Amino acid sequence: MKTIAMFAGAALLSLGLAGNAAAADGAALYASKGCAACHGADGKTPIMPVYPKLAGQNAQYALNQMKDIKSGARNNGQTAAMKGIVMSVSEEELQAIAEWLAAQ
Ligand code: HEC
């Protein structure tokens, strides 16, 4: 836990120079929650061609998709891969990530 907090803090610090606090927070969460493992560090280089590119997506759209995946409203063959991760991310955190992604 301490390691994660330190990592997030370092990411916040380095990104804080470039953007506002909310955007930096989303970037740190995106990295620390493991999103990059599937969607790519920049949100546009997914590990599988069929995984969606996230960078530049409308924040409200992305947030709604993540909420639907979490609740089960969106559920197709690939949703299961993503669902396990979003279960451990709060709505406030998803919102911060969505805003950061939209700005990429
Ligand atoms: C294990 C791989 C994996 C991880 C980890 C993962 N995702 Fe996903 N994500 C997917 C897949 C696969 C889909 C497509 C699901 C579907 O088709 O319903 C998806 C869909 C999405 C979508 C919807 C995109 C669209 O175009 O509709 C968003 C937004 C998203 N992920 C964000 C995230 C965020 C933020 C995290 C970290 C909290 C994350 N993902 C972690 C695999 C992953």
pLDDT value for 62: 98
Contact between residue 15 and residue 27 where contact means Cβ atoms under 8 Å apart: yes
pLDDT in tens, 41-73: 999 999 999 999 999 999 999 999 999 999 999
Contact between residue 57 and residue 101 where contact means Cβ atoms under 8 Å apart: yes
Contact between residue 54 and residue 39 where contact means Cβ atoms under 8 Å apart: yes
Q: Which of 29, 30, 39, 88 to mutate to test the pocket of ligand 1 (most atoms within 8 A of CB)?
A: 39
For residues 58-87, b (16+ Cβ closer than 10 Å) or e, as one string?
A: ebeebbebbbebbeeebeeeeeeebbebbe
Residue 10 has pLDDT above 90, yes or no: no
Band of the pLDDT at 101, cuts 50, 70, 90? very high
* Mean pLDDT, rounded, for 86-93: 95
Mean pLDDT of the chain: 86
pLDDT value for 95: 97
> What residues contact residue 97 under an 8 Å CB cut-off, 6+ apart?
26, 29, 30, 33, 35, 62, 66, 89
Q: Whose CA is nearest to atom 29 of ligand 1?
A: 62
Residue 9 has pLDDT above 70, yes or no: no
Ligand 1 pocket member 63 (CB < 6 A) = no
More confident residue, 54 or 19: 54
pLDDT value for 12: 47
Q: Which ligand 1 atom sits closest to the C-alpha of 89?
A: 38
